[in-house]
Amino acid sequence: MDNELRIIISGGGTGGHIFPAVSIANAIKALRPDAKILFVGAEGRMEMQRVPAAGYEIKGLPICGFNRENLLKNITLPFKMWKSDHMVKGILKEFRPMAAVGVGGYASFPTLKAAASKGIPCLIQEQNSFAGKTNKILGKKAAKICVAYEGMERFFPADRILMTGNPVRQALLETTISHDDAVRSFDLDPQRKTILLVGGSLGARTINESILQNLDLVHQSDVQFIWQTGKYYSAQITEQLEQLGKPENLKVTDFISDMGAAYKAADLVISRAGASSISEFCLLGKAVILVPSPNVAEDHQTKNAMALVNKDAAIYVKDADAPATLLEMAIATVNDTSRLETLKENILKLALPDSARIIAEEVIKLATSK
């Protein structure tokens, strides 16, 4: 066991944390097929299904966040934190990792805090342009902090920051389907402009409302739409469309399994401003309108979006304004060939390729430095 490369990767909660984590793990395995990788996540969160589906073992902690909507639910929080700390110590003792990676999410705090206290070198992968509180605390002890945006020295020690970009889903970069075939795969017309609307893995209420409140505009336009509603909203939206009538140029689905094809089909994307999504748009050179979620810590999605908008690499629509303005703006933009090309060219300039491999190399260096 002493000759094995043993790495712990911790975090999750959303696809924005899980996709980079799995990409880093895959890159480590590509460089060192002998590596043993163990994930640590939060019980009941998305990573407990997604990580095993990607072929990796995961241990779950009872850790959770502070519930601001129902304060009574926080009564058990101190016990869950204590139990998570205790469980992490046992996991570290049994697995004996040579390095620990934190990608954000509830589980990363107790895991990396315990690892650092035992002298295990830690690497943090901060996806956003505005660092979260957990990573700001962990960054004080981390050996390396991998970031995707400039100016992160205001959160972390400058001498430990490495500009790597965010790892993305490798399948997106390996998509070989043509634009026309991608459009046809959604039963749409390759001769018409296509707008893709996505709200993240769970959907986005505001983006959904922007469609539902403007079905006449959808129907009257010469554009076609691929609309991922999110599974949470699917049943409600299906019922509303049955009452209101679904335009023939609107393809509705609760979940898109082949995002590579969806991106290839789209002339313009409408999306939230999660860090992983933005990294995908940069690498693929997609023209995008960003509608940042207002329901995130430190309003970090708006800061992510503005990093692109300030370089004329994306269009920004405020969440509160979206139902009234988003669809009209999107239709005008997708029909403006010159504007589309400018957005594509500028966002492609911000791409940072090979992020997963670069981060994996840093992890291996840390693990084998002793």
Q: What is the pTM of this model?
A: 0.85
DSSP string for 181-247 = HHHHTTT--TTS-EEEE---TT--HHHHHHHHTTHHHHHHSS-EEEEE--HHHHHHHHHHHHHH---
- pLDDT tens-digit profile of 105-152? 889 999 999 999 999 999 999 999 888 888 999 999 999 999 999 899
Listed in sequence order, the residues at least 6 apart from 85 whose beta carbon sits closer than 8 Å to its beta carbon are 110, 113, 114
Predicted confidence at residue 296, as pLDDT, reads 80
- pLDDT tens-digit profile of 174-205? 889 999 999 999 999 999 999 999 976 556 88
The pLDDT tens digits along the chain (370 residues) read 457 899 999 988 777 789 899 999 999 999 999 999 999 999 988 899 999 999 999 999 998 877 667 777 778 888 888 999 999 999 999 999 999 999 988 899 999 999 999 999 999 999 998 888 889 999 999 999 999 998 999 999 999 999 999 998 878 888 899 999 999 999 999 999 999 999 765 568 899 999 999 999 999 999 999 999 988 888 899 999 999 889 999 999 998 989 999 999 999 999 999 998 999 999 999 999 999 998 887 788 999 999 999 999 999 999 999 999 999 999 999 999 999 999 999 999 999 989 999 999 999 999 998 6
